[in-house]
Chains A and B, each alone.
Chain A
């Protein structure tokens, strides 16, 4: 694209070179015209919504690197959603991702940057990132005009999306990622494991590795315990977009590719009367300083549910995402024989056999010795 208001001498050179040239030449040829047009351009740009006047290619003229990276970002490619669909409902229904999924595709800078130099705020992000992220973050339930159990502690400290998430996460860093798992770089320890960090004048409370629950749960992500609730939407009907049931009482975990446990959300989708069920890792933005009670995982009634024992649906997410063994079920393989043994069942068998042996001995003794 070339500015049409300049003379023919500038017509064939790219815009950036032209931009340099007008300064090096002292604006000799165009200055008079520019003097009139510059205020006019800025006036128009600030009044007319950017979506009407710009797209990625237009922005790329000045923000070339950002624009180039952005076309590979998940916001642009929506690879995370597409891949998730292919691993889950797409398999069962044998169909491509529905149009609904593509509403998250951001093909235009102006979708977030409403006008030039507009910095997106939390509302901009929450427009799309509502489930488990935006709406829950402020303590409300998605699709329900009512409060959830609690807002995120970061929200209570007045932090917005961009206080944690860097521009390179949102615009992309040039890699064509397949899942948000890879694209999001910020970690809890970025702030909570670095004493020198100051956010909005606040010093984040530092992670204490010596705290008993921290010592015992080194294979757990912070989210498992500190994201104290999240919203699960059950039976999303693809035909009409209605959701049958919304709950905040579900809690599951999956093992991520890094071998750590993360909260997981069961997603059930209904299409033409058929149901597809899948589970994937989620990062609920409902963080609380006070963690979940131990019994959420460590109790007979919860353990199987949390660890999805017997789950038959699809597991979606990056390669290596898998079901985790519940803490109370230690199943091991006997080498060479390749037999899997549940340690609890084996132990129960040992104790049962011992008690039976004692009982038989006692009875035999009573019979033969008359209780002597």
Chain B
């Protein structure tokens, strides 16, 4: 721990957490890109071999899911204090206040993150809105899995298709498979939306470097 004026450099992210995070990023990008190719979205046609694209998509998605399981376990065992569900109301209040501030109808809230050298831990480790981010990701990953697996292995996941079949007509679709594909695709877009906002927020809040080196200069709590 190195103190520099009001700041102190601390170990913010441990190695496994960082590996898991970047594993998710890399596999997520591969899954996303091949998914866009499979759906012929935005003219993406790489790899041109559809079957190859599909295999890469499905098997990389399984690795992606594995990383998310790892992330979930770490969140629950090591980061629950910061990412627990009990912090949702606090997170939402912060989001509303910051939105108002951005629109010029309220004051900005000071960055609450700070480290207390006396107790050797953070008083606040994350930007409050960050609380909801991993849970949103996990929920969306679950939906992607539930809708994606029956598309590739219909014989093993046919009960899901049977359920979807019941609701397909409500959405004017011919079959449950079509409904699963629509949900899979729309959730993918929402996933991509959160990824873009997440990446930009990491840039704005200056945490990208700490996710690589594990260290960050944190403000000392007053």
205-224 of chain A: CB within 8 A of chain B: 209, 212-213, 215-216, 218-219
* CB-CB under 8 A for A332 and B172, given A215-B152, A346-B189, A358-B197: yes
Q: Given A358-B197, A358-B200, do A348 and B51 touch, yes or no (CB 8 Å)?
A: no
Docked-complex contact A355 and B196, CB < 8 angstroms? yes
Smallest CB gap from A333: residue in B: B172
A8 / chain B contacts, CB cutoff of 8 Å: none
Complex Cα–Cα for A303 and B200 (A): 35
B182 touches A330 (CB 8 A): yes
Residues of B within 8 A of A213 (CB): 51
Contact B39 A354 (CB under 8 A): no
CB-CB nearest in chain A for B39: A328
Over the window 32-74 of chain B, the binary record of Cβ atoms lying under 8 Å from chain A Cβ atoms (1 yes, 0 no) is 0000001111110100111100110000000000000000000
Cβ–Cβ contact A344 & B39, under 8 A: yes
Contacting B at CB under 8 A, from A122-172, are none
Residues on A with beta carbons closer than 8 Å to the beta carbon of B200: 358, 361-362
Q: How far does the Cβ of B142 sit from chain A's closest Cβ, in whole Å?
A: 19
Contact of B196 (CB < 8 Å), options: A298, A303, A354: A354
Interface residue A325 (Cβ < 8 Å from any Cβ of B): yes
Smallest CB gap from A322: residue in B = B174
Provide the B184-205 mask, 1 if CB < 8 A to any CB of A, else 0.
0110111011001100100010
Asked if B155 is an interface residue, CB under 8 A from chain A, the answer is: yes
Beta-carbon nearest neighbor of A329 in chain B: B40
CA distance A332 to B168 in the complex (A): 9
B181 adjacent to chain A (CB < 8 Å): yes
Contact partner of A330 among B43, B151, B178, B204, CB < 8 A? Answer: B178
Q: Which of A330, A331, A355 has the most CB of B within 10 A?
A: A330
Does B188 lie within 8 Å of A347, measured CB to CB?
Answer: yes
Q: Which of A299, A343, A347, A361 contacts B40 (CB 8 A)?
A: A299
Closest to A364 in B: B102
| Complex Cα gap A213–B179 (Å) | 20
Q: List the B residue with the shortest CB-CB distance to A355.
A: B196
| Contact A335 B170, beta carbon cutoff 8 Å | yes
Q: Given A332-B182, A358-B197, is A347 in contact with B41 using a C-beta cutoff of 8 Å?
A: yes
A-side binding surface: helix, strand, loop or mixed? helix
Contact of A300 among B45, B186, B189 (CB under 8 A): B45
With A294-B51, A335-B171, A358-B200 already in contact, the answer to whether A350 and B193 are too (CB < 8 A) is yes
A259 within 8 A of B: yes
Question: Interface size (B, Cβ < 8 Å)?
Answer: 41
Q: Report the nearest B residue to A357, measured CB to CB.
A: B197
Chain B residue contacts of A343, Cβ below 8 A: 182, 185-186
Closest to B192 in A: A351
- Residues from chain B with Cβ under 8 Å of A346 in the complex: 186, 189
B residues 139-197 touching A (CB-CB < 8 Å): 151-155, 170-175, 177-179, 181-182, 185-186, 188-190, 192-193, 196-197
Beta-carbon nearest neighbor of A302 in chain B = B40
Contacts of B38 in A (CB 8 A): 298
- Does chain B have a CB within 8 A of A365? yes
How far is A333 from B178 in the complex, measured between Cα atoms in Å?
A: 12
Nearest-neighbour CB distance to chain B for A283, whole angstroms, equals 22
Cβ contact within 8 Å between B155 and A215: yes
Q: Is A23 an interface residue (CB 8 A)?
A: no
**A215 touches which one: B45, B102, B153 (CB < 8 A)?**
B153
Interface contact A332-B171, CB-CB below 8 Å: yes
A216 smallest CB distance to B (angstroms)? 7
Q: State A340–B38 Cα separation when bound (angstroms).
A: 23
CB–CB A347/B196 < 8 A: no
With A216-B152, A219-B177, A295-B50 as given contacts, are A347 and B185 in contact (CB-CB < 8 Å)? yes
Contact B50 A294 (CB under 8 A): yes
A46 to B153, CA, bound (A): 61
B182 engages A300 (CB within 8 Å): no
Report chain A residues within 8 Å CB of B171. Answer: 332-335
Q: Which of B7-49 contact A (CB under 8 A)?
A: 38-43, 45, 48-49
Chain B residues positioned under 8 Å from A351 (CB to CB): 189, 192-193, 196
* B189: chain A residues within 8 A (beta carbon): 346-348, 350-351
B193 CB contacts on chain A under 8 angstroms = 350-351, 354
| Alpha-carbon gap, A328 to B36, bound state (A) | 10
B-to-A contact residues, CB < 8 Å: 38-43, 45, 48-51, 54-55, 102, 151-155, 170-175, 177-179, 181-182, 185-186, 188-190, 192-193, 196-197, 200, 204
Q: List 11 A-B contacts (CB under 8 A).
A: A259-B175, A298-B38, A299-B45, A332-B173, A332-B179, A334-B171, A343-B186, A344-B39, A350-B190, A361-B200, A365-B204
Which residues of A approach B to under 8 Å, CB–CB? 209, 212-213, 215-216, 218-219, 259, 294-295, 298-300, 303, 325, 327-328, 330-335, 340, 343-344, 346-348, 350-351, 354-355, 358, 361-362, 364-365
Given pairs A216-B152, A331-B172, A347-B186, 19 additional interface contacts (CB within 8 A): A218-B154, A219-B177, A295-B48, A299-B45, A299-B50, A300-B43, A330-B178, A330-B181, A330-B182, A332-B179, A332-B182, A335-B171, A344-B185, A347-B41, A351-B196, A354-B193, A354-B197, A361-B200, A364-B102
Task: Rank and list the top 10 A-B pairs by shortest CB-CB distance, nearest first.
Answer: A333-B172, A294-B50, A347-B189, A328-B40, A332-B171, A298-B50, A354-B193, A330-B182, A343-B185, A358-B200
